[in-house]
Amino acid sequence: MKVSVIVPTYNEENYIGECLKTLMSQTHPDYEVIVVDDGSKDRTVDVASGFGIKVIHQDHKGPGLARNMGAEQSSGEILSFLDADMSFEPDFLVRLTLPIEEGRAVGASSKDELVANNANVWARCWTINAGLPPGRRHPDNLPPEDDVFRAIRRSAFFSVGGYDDIGCSQDRTISRKLGSKALFAEGAICYHRNPASLGEVFRDARWYGKGDQVTRTFGYIIRRTLPFSIKNGVKRAIKHRTWQCLPFQLVYDIGILWGMAARTLSRGNHVK
């Protein structure tokens, strides 16, 4: 089956090159790569265009709508939705799509998702904050299925109208509407960056806080305020012998609260 790989981008000039380099080296016999630029203001489009692949454009509307646009202009029987700050082992696509090609699943995901920049202390703090094993983006005790599709049959994707425009958790809307989950593919190894600076931590936390997956209760908000943020940061700094856990926690919690406030005020603006 032909696979269409769709990569949404927004100001990813520092990472899209490595992403596309590893995608262009895949061993899958029949695939195309489509980059959908979501209104980048840097050199993302120039870098992507240098690989001789299809690059299409939209105004800054968010990754969900960018993925939908890429799917509409694709030709594969299987759609694969990947991120611009990821890189991949050469057999990633083969292994990822195998459960679909063998008829065992309508869609698949990867449990072998490793932290690409684990040497960076802020990336390690992100992992610590998420309660994940060192260097990994998923817990060890995963169920056999996941809410996020990294690959899905074209027919199934369009049967539910693609991704909903709801912000950070848009990547889970396919599973919700389809009523089924993605099967974890064995051995589909990829690498995904964690935020590598306090600025990136803030922006990603703000994006997360802006999404509808965040519990908007009084208790949740209180636990993100300064006294609790300091307490949690100090505890993690001591436990993991990493003093950066304290400033990380402060910036992360501010980002979450900022995102929650932005969602309330923006009323429908879900862009990062």
Residue 142 in any domain: the answer is: yes
Gap between the Cα atoms of 94 and 113, Å rounded: 15
Q: Check residue 74 and give its pLDDT.
A: 97
Q: Do 114 and 9 lie in a common domain?
A: yes
Q: Check residue 269 and give its pLDDT.
A: 63
Gap between the Cα atoms of 90 and 42, Å rounded: 28
3-state secondary structure of 163: coil
Q: Do 73 and 143 lie in a common domain?
A: yes
Q: Do 16 and 147 lie in a common domain?
A: yes
Residue 272 in any domain: the answer is: no
3-state secondary structure of 146: strand
Q: Do 223 and 124 lie in a common domain?
A: no
List of residues 6+ apart from 146 with CB closer than 8 A: 109, 111, 181, 182, 184
Q: Do 96 and 12 lie in a common domain?
A: yes
pTM value is 0.92
Could you say which residues of the chain have pLDDT below 50?
none
Q: Do 158 and 91 lie in a common domain?
A: yes
Q: Check residue 170 and give its pLDDT.
A: 86
Q: Check residue 265 and give its pLDDT.
A: 77
DSSP strand E in the chain: where? 3-9, 31-37, 54-57, 78-81, 86-88, 107-110, 113-115, 145-146, 151-153, 182-185, 190-192
Q: Do 126 and 83 lie in a common domain?
A: yes
Q: Do 87 and 167 lie in a common domain?
A: yes
Q: Do 182 and 240 lie in a common domain?
A: no
End-of-domain residue from the set 167, 192, 217: 192
3-state secondary structure of 5: strand
The answer to whether 44 and 37 are in contact (CB under 8 A) is yes
**Which domain does 113 fall in, by range?**
3-192
| Total of domains in the chain | 2
Give how far Cα 120 sits from Cα of 87, 126, 202, Å. Answer: 17, 10, 16
Residue with tokens 């509409």: 72
Strand 182-185 with 107-110, pairing: parallel
Report, in angstroms and rounded to the nearest whole number, the Rg of the chain calculated over CA atoms: 19
The answer to whether 8 and 63 are in contact (CB under 8 A) is yes
Backbone angles phi, psi at 109, to 5 degrees: -140, 175
End-of-domain residue from the set 158, 192, 226: 192
What is the CATH classification number for the domain harbouring 144?
A: 3.90.550.10
Residue with tokens 């803030």: 202
Q: Check residue 188 and give its pLDDT.
A: 97
Q: Check residue 49 and give its pLDDT.
A: 95
Q: Do 146 and 128 lie in a common domain?
A: yes
Count of Cβ atoms closer than 10 Å to residue 142 Cβ: 11
Gap between the Cα atoms of 146 and 253, Å rounded: 26
End-of-domain residue from the set 174, 192, 210: 192
Q: Do 165 and 217 lie in a common domain?
A: no
130-141 pLDDT per residue, tens: 999 999 999 988
